[in-house]
Amino acid sequence: MPLNKPLTYIHRFFIAFYLLLLLAMLLTYALGYLQKFSITTIALMSVIYAGLSFLHFKTSVDVAKGTNKGRALSVILSCITLLLFPIGTLIGAGMLFLLSPKCWQESR
């Protein structure tokens, strides 16, 4: 049974969110709406979105296991999420609350 379910689901939501952003960006570029941007810019954004998706995936797996590595990665991603004002700030604060010693479920 996975530990830290709410935090795991939040990270999985971000996986889907970043992959949808990546798909939308590539689709709008293919349709010609983003032609003012160079292919290098599109490639860089694709790498960033794919990297964030992978990082959230790795974090969700480790958080579900209750490892210290997962907790550390989750703290880093939560702090990054705090910068996404206003909705991201609320989600990031909620994630940091779920990472507090009171709420965190560590593997035994």
pLDDT of residue 107: 82
Report the residue count for the chain: 108
In a domain, 28, yes or no: yes
In a domain, 107, yes or no: no
In a domain, 103, yes or no: no
Domain residue limits at 65: 5-98
pLDDT digits (tens, 9 = 90+) for 51-100: 999 999 999 999 999 999 999 999 999 999 999 889 999 999 999 999 99
Q: Say which DSSP state 81 is in.
A: H
In a domain, 105, yes or no: no
Mean pLDDT of all residues in the chain? Answer: 94
**How many domains is the chain partitioned into structurally?**
1
Asked if pLDDT for residue 31 goes beyond 90, the answer is yes
Asked if pLDDT for residue 108 goes beyond 80, the answer is no
In a domain, 108, yes or no: no
Q: Name every residue whose Cβ is closer than 8 Å to that of residue 91 and which is 6 or more positions away in sequence.
A: 10, 81, 84
Cβ–Cβ under 8 Å, residues 34 and 25: yes
pLDDT of residue 2: 78
